[in-house]
Structure 1
């Protein structure tokens, strides 16, 4: 019966399983595409990608891979699946999205060979370009845009004062947020380049040339947006509509800048000559295809691929399922500090937020005239957007507290932890607060987010994924911060080493 199943059917079935297993990952991608962020072109982009895949469908032919090629393909698949499992257990969203793409490419490699990857290189690259995994480009693009926001208005005689990413003029104040980096323009320009390259059958050299031109136009378009907003905002005292609706205005500027880019594409990057096409065809690797329904020629390879894939799919469900619903962090008993209240579900003076926490508790300790409040957020398991280390979690309300410093608090006397994360906050001239925090995962204590993520993976593999965020709050009048930090360090040392307190 197995011989009657075509390679195409098994490949499509594997893709369906991949999509089902990674449904939460796909939802995070769709959310980015549905937002006003730099990937809002995603739904339009996926239509183009699917269309190009459809045009290339005749290249999807079953081939018998050599042992060396298949071994490499299998290593790629196992590596991709391993990264996906680690990303799942550590709830790293962008790594999950990259792993999903890598698994898709590896499956194509294992089923159809290297020639298929070469034939589908352009649509695969276009697919990668619309995935929300390019945020690392925001930092250099944001820096360039901020600098353009300084020297552009200064060319017109407008003095601009820069404080990190905040620009101030006589007429207003402008924050160059990550969303103002122009990443969306940058990615659309790259996607447009490969669309032109595919439909005009450009050579690699001409494609790279047009890519550089397109990216330059995208960067300049965003510079123009930033400069115009600052100039107009300054002269109108922040009352013009483009200052408040700068995203829509940005796309208008980019659309206008596309006009010369389209002209350049039509004039200088038309379809390549027959000589170029013939040269490419001669250098292409020739692989003898086999009938798409002939499963016997690569039966062993396909079976091994399916077994490896199924094993990791099963592991992705089984490993996270091992957790203790009754997990809770047990607070130590301190002899040197008197406990006033313990395990309170609410604190009127402190409102931290931990999304997805199983249980949140507050305890209050005193020593003479000093008071320390402890916040515990327990997680018996963690998953995407319901995790201990998450961008939307916070330890203080920015509407009531101003952050003065974000640093480390030394805990030299603590045997199990060298330092804790420390926020220095200010509410008024004589109202300051210190908040120190660290993470506890399966007995491992750390203040480092990367180490905490690795500890999450290890704990999940061991079947003990319970984790807790521990934070300690201490208020002082702001006169002697060094002394306040010393008192907080002393309390945390006693909290971590109750037998020595």
Structure 2
């Protein structure tokens, strides 16, 4: 079958299949690259990566993998595709992006072998550095930048009060948002370090040394940006342009900090002599250059099987899915399945339908909000960053915690948000998720239940939220009354 087909052609076919299946994933990556966020260097980075691959094209050579190496490569491919399938079914964007990269590397491993994977380690690592999968670094970098925003101005005699990530001085208030963490500088510095390592043919030890220096300079550059903005904003009472256009100012500071980094690279990390790196560019011997037809067949079959599964599994759903509300004996139903509420405006993007019901018990009133999804997809799901349970223009969040539901066997606690609108108007909003009879308030468990439900062809899910207004005098009593209503709601028979 593959007698006249080269390994490059088969690898190209595999890439075309992989890219076609991951079109939406690629679009999310391009969106991150096209934004003002920490991955805005992506388009420039991919040009560098492609150029490095082009320079090393003569080293690409098919390898007849040993059984041990191919078993490892195939295991990596199967695992990557499995993670991709789970990420697809659970609509976790960054996990999909990471699985896409892992699958790409695994395919490279399957077709070209371990030696080629090692030879192309630097460009593959550079590709990983421009993937938008590094958000977990924002938290520690943000913490360091916030602390630097306290220490720096105080060294100049400016008193700074810190409230989480909000810094207050006599001249104004400064929020150290996730975008101010310096993650963009951090990733650009890492990419630059490996570029220098590749073009200067640095050893592993010297590469790590230069990487540490580059990352340190990137962190210091962001500290300087934060400190300068706070100092200038304080003395100008927030009227200087760098306070408002801190993004452009930050890149200017980073560019200035690159000057000593470039000097260090040219002075202390010069190119290695050619003979030291000669071993690294020797091609494979000719007796190992033939492609094993069986290995190629298995690789393509595994890829196509998972591709088929990624289309077939999500295609099974009930278009008529809707959560059936229970019939409550102790509460009077005033209205049910109303598409709109005049006093409550939550938002669930991509919901199949949104419904409101209202229950009363003597002087107590409880409003129930249901957001049904007959299936969930990326950006059309219960757990999504743009969804909200209250309008921030009318309500201020006081606290976010868990509400115990001791009488329920299906739900031990619900998510609770405490809101305030005026001195005598407060609101409690409790919420949880229902996925194929699984009831939970935990987002991770909801995602796991989402995957299980999709696998058995019943992906229907509903966000359930209950609001209860009170005067703010006795919050503990209000929480107890809300908990009792939820307990009754969960334990009643469905009508």
TM-score normalised according to structure 1 size: 0.97
Q: Which residue of 1 aligns with 2:73?
A: 73
Q: 1:6-405 residue pairs with structure 2 within 5 A?
A: 6-274=6-274, 276-278=276-278, 281=280, 287-289=284-286, 295=291, 298-405=292-399
* Residue in 1 that maps onto 2:474: 480
Which among 411, 419, 430 is matched to residue 417 of structure 1?
A: 411
Q: Distance in 2 between matches of 1:430 and 1:360?
A: 29
**Is the 1:150–1:160 Cα contact (8 Å) retained in structure 2?**
yes
Contact 1:32 1:40 in 2 (8 A): yes
CA RMSD, Structure 1 to Structure 2 (Å):
1.5
Q: CA deviation at 1:245?
A: 0.3
Matched-pair contact (CA < 8 Å) for 1:409–1:420: yes
Indicate if the aligned counterparts of 1:148 and 1:226 stay in contact, CA closer than 8 A.
Answer: yes
Report what 1:446 is aligned to: 440
Deviation at 1:275, TM superposition (A): 5.4
Flag the 1:6–1:171 CA change in 2: closer, same or farther, 3 A: same
Q: Which runs of 5+ in 2 are unaligned?
A: none
CA distance in 2, matches of 1:440, 1:312: 28
For residues 215-274 of structure 1, the C-alpha deviation after alignment (integer angstroms, 9 at most, x for no partner) is 111011000000000000000000000000000000000001111111111111111124
Once the two structures are TM-superposed, the CA of residue 498 in structure 1 deviates from its matched residue by 1.1
Q: Distance in 2 between matches of 1:18 and 1:367?
A: 57
1:73 to partner: Cα distance: 0.5
Structure 1, residues 305-335: CA drift from partner, whole Å, max 9, x if none? 1111110000000000000100000001111
Whether the 8 Å CA contact 1:63–1:289 is kept in 2: the answer is no
The list of structure 1 runs, each at least 4 consecutive aligned residues, that deviate by more than 6 angstroms after superposition, is: none
* Contact 1:61–1:290 (Cα < 8 Å) also in 2: no
Deviations 1:30-86 (A, max 9, x none): 010011000001000001011111111112111100000000111000000000000
Secondary structure at the aligned position of 2:397 is classed as: strand
TM-score, reference length from structure 2: 0.98
- The CA deviation at 1:415 is 1.6
Q: In the TM superposition, what is the alpha-carbon distance from 1:300 to its structure 2 partner?
A: 0.6
- Aligned-partner Cα distance in 1 for 2:297–2:487: 56
The number of equivalent residue pairs is 495
The answer to which of 152-161 and 268-277 deviates more is 268-277
Q: Give 3-state SS (helix, strand or coil) of 1:325's partner.
A: coil
Q: Please state how far the C-alpha of 1:500 moved relative to its aligned partner.
A: 12
What are structure 1's unaligned runs of at least 5 residues?
none
CA-to-partner distance for each residue in 1:264-298, whole Å, 9 max, x for gaps?
111111111245325x54xx998434597x55xx0
SS at match of 2:174: strand
2:463 to 456, 469, 477: 469
**Structure 1 pair 230/437, CA: closer, same or farther in 2 (3 Å)?**
same
CA distance in 2, matches of 1:37, 1:43: 13
Contact 1:62-1:290 within 8 A present in 2 as well? no
- Contact between 2:316 and 2:457, CA under 8 Å: does it hold in 1? yes
**1:77/1:313 CA distance change after superposition, 3 Å:** same
2: CA distance between counterparts of 1:455 and 1:290? 50
